[in-house]
Amino acid sequence: MTMNTDEVEQAVEQRRVWLQGQLNAAAVRFGVELVGEVVNTFDMRSAGAPAHDGERAVWLRVVVEDPDYQPACRWEGNVEANSISGVPKPQVLRWADWHHTDSYLAGRRLRGEVMTQAPGSTIAPGGVLLDDPHLPPSWWTDLDTALAALAAHPVNLDHELGAVRYTINGVREHFGATLTEHTFAGLQWATAHADLHWGNLRGPTLHILDWESWRPAPAGYDAATLYCNSLLHQPTARRIRAMPVLQTRTGQIALLFAICRYLWVIGEGSDLDETEKHLRSEGTDLVARLAH
């Protein structure tokens, strides 16, 4: 049954209030004190807020399990990311799972995570860069270093989610062209954050947030996703597009993969809608180049 606008708003508010209650309960469970504004993800799947853990400033997050997000968002992703070195990111300090027993979303599994608090501020909370981020040169140097360290982390192909087939299907759907498996011969794989947009980046000191989705991807995929989310500020987009990893054949495939990913969500009312002409133009060129 399709809900009208009022019903959708009521459902979102109910979910928000419920998540706030779960966050409050998690604060008691972990013995921390919430001290700041609660931040919800756009899909109301999780809530987080700054907190005090004794004298230490931390971030408390609660997420509810949703089968629609599996396996792209891995339940253990944030915790398992503790094993990654050389990348400035939050560390999960304590965590716990439990099942909700009240009538609303009864039986759903929840996870609470206490993690170190990232310094600075989120560069573009909506994910898409709209204007100059005014980042110091050191930020860009640190980004290059961090992405190289992440790419060098051992690749676990058990978490590979079919990037080749996804790209073939996306090219057929969005560009009316056919790429064969041969196009992807010699593809190089690397460990990727896999959701690197400006809502997951902090400045003026680099810190990378949200590690639920990290997994193997064609080398250059993180640069590719960040590029797609920079297209409304062309100087930044050009800077990212010039990264050496995106000049390789694997990097071009990674970029085409990212373009197909974002074209699937064009029309949902986000700032990404404004990037469509850029995505289609770049994608058309890549398809022509890779098809030969």
Q: What is the pLDDT of residues 104-133, one digit of tens each?
A: 888 889 999 999 999 999 999 999 999 999
Any alpha helices (H) in the chain, and if so which ranges?
Answer: 5-30, 77-80, 137-151, 163-175, 221-228, 234-241, 249-263, 276-290
Question: In the numeric block, which tokens belong to residue 263?
Answer: 């074209």
Residue 249's pLDDT band, with cuts at 50, 70 and 90, is very high
pLDDT value of residue 68: 78
Top pLDDT among 80 and 67 is at 80
* pLDDT score at 77: 94
pLDDT at 81 over 60: yes
Residues 6+ apart with CB under 8 A from 146: 86, 87, 88, 206, 208
**Residues 125-181: pLDDT tens digits?**
999 999 999 999 999 999 999 999 999 999 888 888 899 999 999 999 999 999 998
Q: What is the pLDDT of residues 179-194, one digit of tens each?
A: 998 999 999 999 999 9
pLDDT band (50, 70, 90) for residue 1 = low
Domains and CATH numbers, the chain: 5-117 (3.30.200.20), 137-290 (3.90.1200)
Residue 218 has pLDDT above 60, yes or no: yes
8 Å CB contact between 128 and 270: yes
User: Whole-model pTM?
Assistant: 0.94
Question: Could you tell me the pLDDT band of residue 94, with boundaries at 50, 70 and 90?
Answer: very high
Say whether pLDDT at 235 is over 80.
yes
- Give how far Cα 159 sits from Cα of 16, 178, 215, 223, 257, Å: 31, 26, 6, 20, 17
Q: What is the mean pLDDT of the chain?
A: 94
Averaged over 242-259, what is the pLDDT?
Answer: 98
Amino acid residing at 62: V
Check the CA dihedral 75-78-83-85 and report its sign. positive
Determine what percent of the chain is predicted with pLDDT higher than 70.
99
Regarding predicted confidence, which is higher, 257 or 65? 257
* Model confidence at 3: pLDDT above 90: no
What 3-state class would DSSP assign to 56?
strand
